[in-house]
Chain A
Amino acid sequence: MTQANETLFIQHFKESSRPLSYYLEKMNGYTAAKKALVMPQDDIINEVKKSNLRGRGGAGFPTGMKWGFIPKQSAKPKYLVCNADESEPGTFKDRDLMRYTPHLLIEGMMIGGYAIGANTGYIYIRGEYTREAKLLNEAIQEAYNNGYLGKNIMGTGFNFDLTVHRGAGAYICGEETALLNSLEGKRGEPRVKPPFPAQAGAFGGPTIVNNVETLTSVPFIINHGGEWFSKLGKLEKSGGSRLFGISGHVKKPGLYELPAGGATLRQLIYDYAGGILGDKKLKAVIPGGSSAPVLTADEIDVVLDIEPMMKIGTMLGSAAIMVVSEDYCVVKLLTRISKFYAHESCGQCTPCREGTRWMEDILHRIEHGHGHEQDIQMLLDISNNINGRTLCALGDAAAGPVMSFVKKFRADFEAHIRGGKCPNA
């Protein structure tokens, strides 16, 4: 168990941590930047590679490797974009990072921008985070006023401009190419790849898109070294400590900072989050945001990290764990989840546009007692035809829950169809 004073982030999650003065005094504010901005760019990238920092937005891609994809020379300006769209159901960690430790993000972005050769950074923040955007802007203004942003930062000759760009309500804008389109003033529709953002991203220039938590980890890596960060994590390929969000039917929902791979799902639910509300039995866990295939109560001894979760057919994703106890109807839950994906589909590609709504309609009928025998197979067929066949990962995210819920809780669906209603009701 990580002690409160050993955490990187959570110990600072309070209103009084926000001002620049706190950041400078209590969090080694901008010392990493001072160090980094006179290092060779490749050295910074190597340090991040050594740290085994994995993208914290959900895909878990090694950050150092991603930064290495940016070409050294470019005719067009390069950009560093922070993905603060945080819309994956169950996820609420980036919100606290932005409202309590905004300077951590600013410093991380400045170092990242320098490492890849970008002089402009954007923070794409979901539109609903109105207050967080305002607080970020205030922190950015503090940074500009004190020479931590703008021209010739801390006398190093490096220029970096940072702008907060608000989204307007679209989960799909968490997908990096959709985010870039939205940044450019267009519909948030994902792009065909290739070209990849590192070749042609924002405004046609080479671009890196990183999650908030990924970027806030960077100052620690520079200050203490990549190896130190890597050793914080409990598994070889996964460094650092990270924020796990747990919600639903637990006694103590909220954020917990643990080493990567430092606990099992069982430990998180029962040891950290106090166990199931009302001491009920556990029925299901959605372990990585709603896009992660569901786990039954028998599957919670898995280590909470990227590779172990993949091995059992689900994913850590954004480390957003939602806990369902025995009373709740999983058919109702899946219906609500499928409604979400149908609502958030951008509509470009055929399987997602037609398939998500089709699945929602079938599940709606089943939930309300009008299911047919062939509906279960139909759901499996449709989700199979969406999975791996779409322009972006939203299709897979929509198919995953349907396939896993229907397979693992088939009896519940059959009971709805045969009985004409929820057996729990």
Chain B
Amino acid sequence: MTNSEVGKKLLSQKFYDEMKKLEPRYPTQVALLLPALHAAQDEHGWLSPEVMDEVAAYIGIHSAQVREVASFYTMYNLKPVGKYHLKVCTNVACCLRGAEELVEHVEKKYGIHCGETTHDRKFTLMEEECLGACGTAPAMMLNNDYHENLSVEQLDKILDGLE
């Protein structure tokens, strides 16, 4: 039995309330899928199979349909991530302004490779494609926030200040 069948939901009432408010804005229930996955991920930090099954049940579609959508987009984490998810852009403009050095610096600083999470689950480091901050390159996302005009020193200041 899934959690939804047992009556124990993994997603909060806030999630369902938010979804209810969005429903009248779309002509189909399926159109809620991307917003629902964002909201579900905001609650748990990642999308587990059980959470995705619950989203499927809410929208009224087959579980597989949720998986095919969730796995297509890079922002949906299908594995747990660290408390601080670092996504450093290494596309053209940021590369031209030294993004690779930033990535190497973080790798050395925390002893992880790109794509990995530190043992204490504090940091996950990823390379990212163009973030749309090319005029203020190099740039990165730290969870949902943009940090731009980065240098190694700037980066250290930001990271060292995180609890």
Q: Tell me, yes or no, whether A and B come into direct contact in the complex with CB atoms closer than 8 A.
A: yes
A170 touches B74 (CB 8 A): yes
The docked-state distance in angstroms from the alpha carbon of A185 to that of B30 is 5
Contact of A131 among B30, B37, B145 (CB under 8 A): B145
| Interface pair A127/B73, CB less than 8 Å apart | yes
Instruction: Report A-chain residues with C-beta under 8 Å of the C-beta of B137.
Output: 247-248, 253
Contact A182 B134 (CB under 8 A): no
B134 touches A90 (CB 8 A): yes
CA–CA, A254 and B97, complex, Å: 13
Chain B proximity mask over A165-185: 1 for CB below 8 Å, otherwise 0: 111111100000000001111
Partner-binding segment picked from A37-45, A320-328, A380-388, A392-400: A320-328
- Assess whether B92 is in contact with A203, with CB atoms less than 8 Å apart: no
Interface assignment of B113: CB less than 8 Å from any CB of chain A: no
Of B59, B68, B76, B92, most A-chain CB atoms within 10 Å: B92
Interface residue? A91 (CB, 8 A): yes
A128-B92 contact, Cβ under 8 Å, with A95-B133, A255-B135: no
Chain A contact patch, size range: 35 or more
Interface residues of B in 67-118 (CB under 8 A from A): 68-69, 72-76, 90-93, 95-97
The answer to whether B134 touches A183, judged by C-beta atoms less than 8 angstroms apart, is no
Interface 9-mer from A260-268, A303-311, A333-341: A333-341
Do A183 and B31 have beta carbons less than 8 Å apart? yes
Highest count of chain B CB atoms <10 Å: which of A91, A130, A324, A328: A130
CB distance from B22 to the nearest CB of A (A): 8
C-alpha gap A129/B59 in the complex (Å):
25
* C-alpha gap A249/B95 in the complex (Å): 10
Known pairs A168-B74, A168-B76, A203-B28; A249 contacts B132 (CB<8 A): no
Chain A residues, Cβ within 8 Å of B131: 128
Q: Is the CB of A184 within 8 A of B31?
A: yes
Write the A80-121 contact mask toward B (1 if CB under 8 angstroms, else 0). Answer: 000000111111101100000000000000000000000000
Contacts of A92 in B (CB 8 A): 132-135
Residue pair A170, B72 in contact (C-beta under 8 Å) = yes
Query: A48 contacts the other chain (Cβ, under 8 Å)?
Result: no
Does A186 make an interface contact (CB < 8 A)? yes
User: In whole angstroms, what is the CA distance A203 to B27 when docked?
Assistant: 8
Residue among B69, B75, B91, B134 making CB contact with A245, cutoff 8 Å: B134
Contact A254 B135 (CB under 8 A): yes
Contacts of B129 in A (CB 8 A): 87, 89, 171, 340, 343-344
- CA separation between A56 and B73, bound complex, in Å? 25
Point out the residues of chain A lying under 8 angstroms from B146, CB to CB.
131
Chain B 22-61 against A: per-residue CB contact (8 Å), 1 yes, 0 no?
A: 1001111011111101100000000000000000000100
CB <8 Å contact, A336 and B28: no
Q: Are B134 and A166 in contact (CB under 8 A)?
A: no
B144 lies within 8 A of chain A by Cβ? yes
- Residue of B26, B28, B32, B72 touching A188 (CB-CB under 8 A): B72
B155 contacts A by Cβ under 8 Å: no
Do residues A168 and B93 form an inter-chain contact, with CB atoms below 8 A?
Answer: no
Contact call A184/B92, Cβ cutoff below 8 A: no
CB of B130 closer than 8 Å to a CB of A: yes
CA distance A230 to B130 in the complex (A): 32
Residue of A nearest to B128 (CB): A128
A56 nearest CB across to chain B (Å): 15
Decide if A187 is an interface residue (CB 8 Å cutoff). Answer: yes
Q: Does B141 contact A (CB under 8 A)?
A: yes
Q: Which residues of B contact A246 (CB under 8 A)?
A: 135
Task: Decide if B32 touches A322 in the complex (CB within 8 Å).
Answer: no
Query: A29 contacts the other chain (Cβ, under 8 Å)?
Result: no
Find out whether the CB atom of A168 lies under 8 angstroms from the CB atom of B134.
Answer: no
Chain A residues within 8 Å of B32, by CB: 185
A166-B38, A168-B75 given; A328·B31 CB < 8 A: no
Chain B, residue nearest A163 (CB): B25
Query: Do A89 and B92 have beta carbons less than 8 Å apart?
Result: yes
Is the CB of A354 closer than 8 A to any CB of chain B? no
Interface centre among A86, A88, A165, A183 (most CB of B within 10 A): A165
- Report B57 CB to chain A, min CB distance, Å: 15
**Residues A337 and B132 in contact, CB atoms below 8 Å apart:** no
Whether A169 lies near B75 (C-beta < 8 A) is yes
Q: Which of B69, B75, B92, B144 contacts A248 (CB 8 A)?
A: B92
Tell me the complex Cα distance, A320–B69, Å: 30
Would A126 and B144 be within 8 Å (CB), given that A168-B34, A333-B92 are in contact?
Answer: no
- Assembly CA distance A165 to B34 (angstroms): 8
Partner pick for B28 among A185, A247, A248, A328, CB 8 A cutoff: A185
- How close is A84's CB to chain B, nearest CB, in angstroms? 10
Ordered by A's residue number, 9 sampled pairs between the chains whose C-beta atoms are within 8 Å are A86-B132, A166-B34, A185-B34, A186-B30, A187-B68, A188-B72, A322-B92, A322-B93, A340-B129
Please report B residues at the A interface, Cβ cutoff 8 Å: 22, 25-28, 30-35, 37-38, 59, 68-69, 72-76, 90-93, 95-97, 129-137, 141, 144-146
Extra pairs beyond A92-B133, A169-B76, A336-B92 (13, CB < 8 Å): A87-B132, A127-B75, A128-B75, A130-B144, A131-B146, A168-B37, A168-B76, A182-B34, A185-B28, A185-B30, A203-B28, A248-B134, A322-B96
Q: Which residues of A contact B (CB under 8 A)?
A: 77, 86-92, 94-95, 126-131, 161, 163, 165-171, 182-188, 203, 245-249, 253-255, 286, 290, 320, 322-324, 328, 332-333, 336-337, 340, 343-344, 346
